[in-house]
Structure 1
């Protein structure tokens, strides 16, 4: 990609996925791009990482978000800001129809089938399910800082990878 094309791409909105980070008031976003190999004439995936200003903690790990470059850098690393969360993690929406999806089927089709054949008591009800994040600190540790454990110490840190 040419230098002018890269500069123009940084001014527009970028779509990426939020990944774990240890920075405070910032989110680390992975943007997937395709890069042309001139010798093979094939495109290969190249991931670029951006640190985005997110003081409200709008995005969590795994969310698909829109980011936009800031007019001036906040710090040496933070160059973009989170505009909005497009798709929250775990709540999958078909982008064409706008319907909610569970596995490979639409949720409303699953509900219609359960009405026809009788609803099982053990079936999951999406309408009564609490929103994502209600187990934060109990079973959901995505908000905790993660890091790679390089040394073994006597005390065990549950957030180390």
Structure 2
């Protein structure tokens, strides 16, 4: 049985990747495809463009996208419905607890209290929200362009 394309699906969960289009965002959607010979599922990635006029998604965000009733353009077939997880701020959907890597933040704090808190340990409660380094170290909000040749000038936002 063939799996329908991601662009034909009503709702998708995707990760935002860098995009050069104005008013749109590009998403990488992971799908599992059945190999008929091995009878095993293997991951396959598809890319979908979604309408995002407010630029609410940034690179790395996990976003819920919804299919438009009619295509806006040949590529833009979906719209951004909601940012589920901003980059670096993942919440377990079952328990509602914050996660760091593969462990709960509460568990990491409890273990560090038992073995002794390090003075240089990262504290998630005191950390500033994402986006405070815009124009300093974070340039994901800046409009990028394709660099076709090397002119000798410094092009910081060229792709």
TM score, norm. by length of structure 1: 0.82
Task: Identify the range of structure 1 (46-55 vs 87-96) with the bigger mean alpha-carbon deviation.
Answer: 87-96
Instruction: Note if 1:85 corresponds to 2:83.
Output: yes
Q: 1:148 to 1:45 in 2, by over 3 A?
A: farther
CA deviation vs aligned residue, 1:103-141 (integer Å, no higher than 9, x gap): 332111222233344433322211111111111111011
Q: Report how far residue 145 of structure 1 moved.
A: 3.5
CA deviation vs aligned residue, 1:60-90 (integer Å, no higher than 9, x gap): 1011111111111222322110111111111
CA deviation vs aligned residue, 1:31-80 (integer Å, no higher than 9, x gap): 11223344554444322211111112221101111111111122232211
Structure 1 unaligned blocks of 5 or more:
none
* Counterpart-to-counterpart distance in 1, 2:40 and 2:15: 24
Equivalence map 1:16-95=2 (5 Å):
16-39=14-37, 41-95=39-93
Instruction: Note if 1:103 corresponds to 2:101.
Output: yes
* Counterpart-to-counterpart distance in 2, 1:44 and 1:101: 26
* Counterpart-to-counterpart distance in 1, 2:5 and 2:26: 20
* Counterpart-to-counterpart distance in 2, 1:159 and 1:8: 30
* Counterpart-to-counterpart distance in 1, 2:38 and 2:9: 30
Runs of 4+ in 1 over 6 A off after TM superposition: none
Structure 2 unaligned blocks of 5 or more:
none
Task: Identify the range of structure 1 (99-108 vs 23-32) with the bigger mean alpha-carbon deviation.
Answer: 99-108
TM score, norm. by length of structure 2: 0.83
* Counterpart-to-counterpart distance in 1, 2:107 and 2:6: 43
* Counterpart-to-counterpart distance in 2, 1:40 and 1:49: 26
Aligned residues: 159
